[in-house]
Chain A
């Protein structure tokens, strides 16, 4: 399914037109006010649409579109719950409940990074250093997810190898980030955000219209339930328009626990404690600006997150109706009336003679679910007669079993090539805006939160050098992770791990710091250590997919993939389900038994203010 690497004139016109427009508007932006801080310094207000789209562009990237879109293609429309939680928590609650208190506390305490905010609120160098360390060590994982998402798209769109595409992505990122692309230039972010929105609207319209409309499209997807690959059926997949089977104590509930605990809860709640997003609230001028940004932010997330999840799921219906025809021999009839069957794929070895396609991973014949379109007689290499069938399959078959490749494969197969190019450029822009904020956060965590705190030398030059070195280290770490780890839906998993770790480590101390004056330094530090410790332990020893990839658990248990491998469902439960409640409990209990915070410091954190 690799794309055609040759360009025709319309492709070149599209690319040049896009780049010229971006460059011109970027230049216009650079001449005047550029960043959120510039707006504040100038005493002016960013337009609420600019502010909201710029904020959302920071956390929408290739990870959401390629990674989670691919997961939706595998697991179905149950992922719409993540869109719901993203809008409810990531926009509505974050902007209305957390935005203003964060902005005020940050300005009262003169905090410029998330660890600095926590450290200043709790008057603790240890808290700031710990938070900085977690960010510096874990953020490259999230950057790797964004980078892999972009790389996979390049691979599919231009038909080049993963290694070459990763090198190209790394060079583009370095060129963007190292010479000064770290500034969140709001107008450029906004332009790129709007290009993404237009691309998503077209993608959604194309998908629904090519399937006959909203209801027929959903019904077509519902009718494919028996074509769910057997490996997914075994863990509880009941169709792309149904939630996975729910229960506890049997492996056929594994998918529910993966979807709900890791994807919906981990990512949905984790967005509230993302360091680079929390800092964004401090750059806002006032509560009014936050209120006005809510509608645009919600619409933006609905389109940019909801569309890939819907289109990912519906790509199964599109491929089974319009995808390229596949050829094979029936292994097992699933439903003869609808022509659904498990088919062993075959290729024409010599003219008129058909041989099985061997799966390079398993070295076994490739068997796929298929909606059969026609049947004919043919011969195998030994000259024996066989019944050859032609038909179409769900999207994961066309993506060669790689969920991360489903969205790129769908776009390169189903949509016009000019759209693929626009989509790629917009996707690249989304990746860059997210990665620039990630590397900015890595740099400030290393410079301000680790170097300055640990050496006790708040000085600009050495700290800036540390920041720059940290950014280069972060970039190299992200590229190394992308190159090394290429497992199933790795983009979504890396994102979920980072978001879950942030939620368990930071969320109780952050929310407690904003709203609970009784929350103490010891309580916050203990809560962070418990949240982080339990999360790391769970990832190393319990959650089988991550634990088995790291390998420590096999060493300890003589080959098992989890300490709880003999207890169904436990190895699928995300760390956030255990670590976050324990961290909250720790914050409350330890705070209640330790000395309350000095009222004078609380007076600095929360001076009496009216009507703001």
Chain B
């Protein structure tokens, strides 16, 4: 199939496409499933991160 005689190599070739499709479906299916909330803790963390980035 597809000119690849070794089933293991063929599996890898098709597996790459399959796992990409699964990722695509997962991302689309869960597009709005999780909450999108920015807490004070998240913002405090980001401020410290930005300070280090700016200084370095």
Most chain A Cβ neighbours within 10 Å, of B22, B32, B47, B56:
B56
CB distance from B41 to the nearest CB of A (A): 5
Question: Which of the 9-residue segments A14-22, A296-304, A346-354, A544-552 touches chain B?
Answer: A296-304
What are some 5 contacts across the A-B interface (CB < 8 A)?
A40-B42, A286-B37, A295-B26, A297-B23, A299-B24
CB distance from B20 to the nearest CB of A (A): 5
The chain A residue with its CB closest to the CB of B30 is: A291
Considering the complex, which residues of chain B in the window 7-52 have a beta carbon less than 8 Å from any beta carbon of chain A? Answer: 8-9, 12-13, 15-17, 19-20, 22-24, 26-28, 30-39, 41-50, 52
How many angstroms from the CA of A329 to the CA of B3 in the assembled complex?
32
Question: Which of the 9-residue segments A84-92, A355-363, A410-418, A497-505 touches chain B?
Answer: A84-92
Contact B46 A84, beta carbon cutoff 8 Å: no
Is residue A595 within 8 Å, beta carbon to beta carbon, of the partner chain?
Answer: no
CB distance from B6 to the nearest CB of A (A): 4
Most chain A Cβ neighbours within 10 Å, of B5, B23, B36:
B23
Contact B38 A40, beta carbon cutoff 8 Å: yes
Taking A41-B46, A106-B45, A460-B55 as known contacts, 6 extra A-B pairs with beta carbons closer than 8 A to each other, sorted by chain A number, are: A37-B49, A40-B42, A45-B36, A220-B3, A295-B24, A298-B19
- Specify which chain A residues have a CB less than 8 angstroms from the CB of B22 in the assembled complex: 92
Contact B53 A183, beta carbon cutoff 8 Å: yes
- Specify which chain B residues have a CB less than 8 angstroms from the CB of A298 in the assembled complex: 19-20, 23-24
Chain B interface residue count: which class? 35 or more
CB distance from A139 to the nearest CB of B (A): 16
How many angstroms from the CA of A110 to the CA of B49 in the assembled complex?
10
Contact A294 B2, beta carbon cutoff 8 Å: no
Pick the contact of B23: A108, A242, A283, A295 (CB < 8 A).
Answer: A295
How many angstroms from the CA of A433 to the CA of B22 in the assembled complex?
28
Contact A612 B49, beta carbon cutoff 8 Å: no
- Specify which chain B residues have a CB less than 8 angstroms from the CB of A464 in the assembled complex: 55-56
Contact A286 B38, beta carbon cutoff 8 Å: yes
Contact B16 A288, beta carbon cutoff 8 Å: no
Contact B37 A40, beta carbon cutoff 8 Å: no
Pick the contact of B56: A91, A286, A287, A467 (CB < 8 A).
Answer: A467
Contact B9 A243, beta carbon cutoff 8 Å: yes
The 4 closest A-B pairs by CB, nearest first: A218-B3, A40-B46, A298-B23, A295-B27
Contact B45 A78, beta carbon cutoff 8 Å: no
- Specify which chain B residues have a CB less than 8 angstroms from the CB of A340 in the assembled complex: none
Pick the contact of B34: A76, A183, A286 (CB < 8 A).
Answer: A286
- Specify which chain B residues have a CB less than 8 angstroms from the CB of A287 in the assembled complex: 34-36
Is residue A517 within 8 Å, beta carbon to beta carbon, of the partner chain?
Answer: no
Interface residues of B, dominant DSSP: helix
Is residue A388 within 8 Å, beta carbon to beta carbon, of the partner chain?
Answer: no
Is residue A112 within 8 Å, beta carbon to beta carbon, of the partner chain?
Answer: yes
Is residue A611 within 8 Å, beta carbon to beta carbon, of the partner chain?
Answer: yes
Interface residues of A, dominant DSSP: helix
Pick the contact of A214: B2, B15, B37, B55 (CB < 8 A).
Answer: B2
Using A77-B4, A215-B3, A468-B56 as known contacts, say yes or no to A242 and B33 having CB atoms under 8 A apart: no
Is residue A173 within 8 Å, beta carbon to beta carbon, of the partner chain?
Answer: no
Using A83-B12, A182-B56, A464-B56 as known contacts, say yes or no to A112 and B49 having CB atoms under 8 A apart: yes
Is residue A402 within 8 Å, beta carbon to beta carbon, of the partner chain?
Answer: no
Contact B17 A285, beta carbon cutoff 8 Å: no
- Specify which chain B residues have a CB less than 8 angstroms from the CB of A214 in the assembled complex: 2-3
How many angstroms from the CA of A221 to the CA of B13 in the assembled complex?
15
Contact A291 B34, beta carbon cutoff 8 Å: yes
Contact B19 A41, beta carbon cutoff 8 Å: no
The chain B residue with its CB closest to the CB of A305 is: B16
CB distance from A534 to the nearest CB of B (A): 29
How many angstroms from the CA of A222 to the CA of B9 in the assembled complex?
12
Pick the contact of A107: B4, B17, B42 (CB < 8 A).
Answer: B42
How many angstroms from the CA of A36 to the CA of B27 in the assembled complex?
20
How many angstroms from the CA of A87 to the CA of B35 in the assembled complex?
25
Contact B45 A40, beta carbon cutoff 8 Å: yes
- Specify which chain B residues have a CB less than 8 angstroms from the CB of A292 in the assembled complex: 27, 30-31
Using A87-B20, A286-B34, A306-B16 as known contacts, say yes or no to A242 and B48 having CB atoms under 8 A apart: no
Contact B56 A80, beta carbon cutoff 8 Å: no
Mask of A82-119 contacts with B, CB within 8 angstroms, 1/0: 01100110011000100010000011101010000000
How many angstroms from the CA of A218 to the CA of B33 in the assembled complex?
41
Considering the complex, which residues of chain A in the window 105-138 have a beta carbon less than 8 Å from any beta carbon of chain B? Answer: 106-108, 110, 112
Contact B36 A285, beta carbon cutoff 8 Å: yes
Using A84-B16, A182-B56, A214-B3 as known contacts, say yes or no to A91 and B45 having CB atoms under 8 A apart: no
Contact B27 A612, beta carbon cutoff 8 Å: no
Contact B9 A242, beta carbon cutoff 8 Å: yes
Contact B35 A612, beta carbon cutoff 8 Å: yes
- Specify which chain B residues have a CB less than 8 angstroms from the CB of A295 in the assembled complex: 23-24, 26-28
Most chain B Cβ neighbours within 10 Å, of A241, A285, A290, A297:
A241
The chain B residue with its CB closest to the CB of A107 is: B45
Pick the contact of A112: B41, B52, B55 (CB < 8 A).
Answer: B52
How many angstroms from the CA of A96 to the CA of B12 in the assembled complex?
22
Is residue A289 within 8 Å, beta carbon to beta carbon, of the partner chain?
Answer: yes
- Specify which chain B residues have a CB less than 8 angstroms from the CB of A183 in the assembled complex: 53
Contact A611 B35, beta carbon cutoff 8 Å: yes
Contact B2 A285, beta carbon cutoff 8 Å: no
CB distance from A475 to the nearest CB of B (A): 14
Using A40-B42, A286-B35, A293-B27 as known contacts, say yes or no to A80 and B9 having CB atoms under 8 A apart: yes
- Specify which chain A residues have a CB less than 8 angstroms from the CB of B5 in the assembled complex: 222, 241-242
Is residue A194 within 8 Å, beta carbon to beta carbon, of the partner chain?
Answer: no
CB distance from B4 to the nearest CB of A (A): 5
Contact A288 B23, beta carbon cutoff 8 Å: no
- Specify which chain A residues have a CB less than 8 angstroms from the CB of B36 in the assembled complex: 45, 285-289
Is residue A216 within 8 Å, beta carbon to beta carbon, of the partner chain?
Answer: yes
CB distance from A259 to the nearest CB of B (A): 11
- Specify which chain B residues have a CB less than 8 angstroms from the CB of A611 in the assembled complex: 34-35
The chain A residue with its CB closest to the CB of B37 is: A286
Contact A40 B43, beta carbon cutoff 8 Å: yes
Is residue A35 within 8 Å, beta carbon to beta carbon, of the partner chain?
Answer: yes
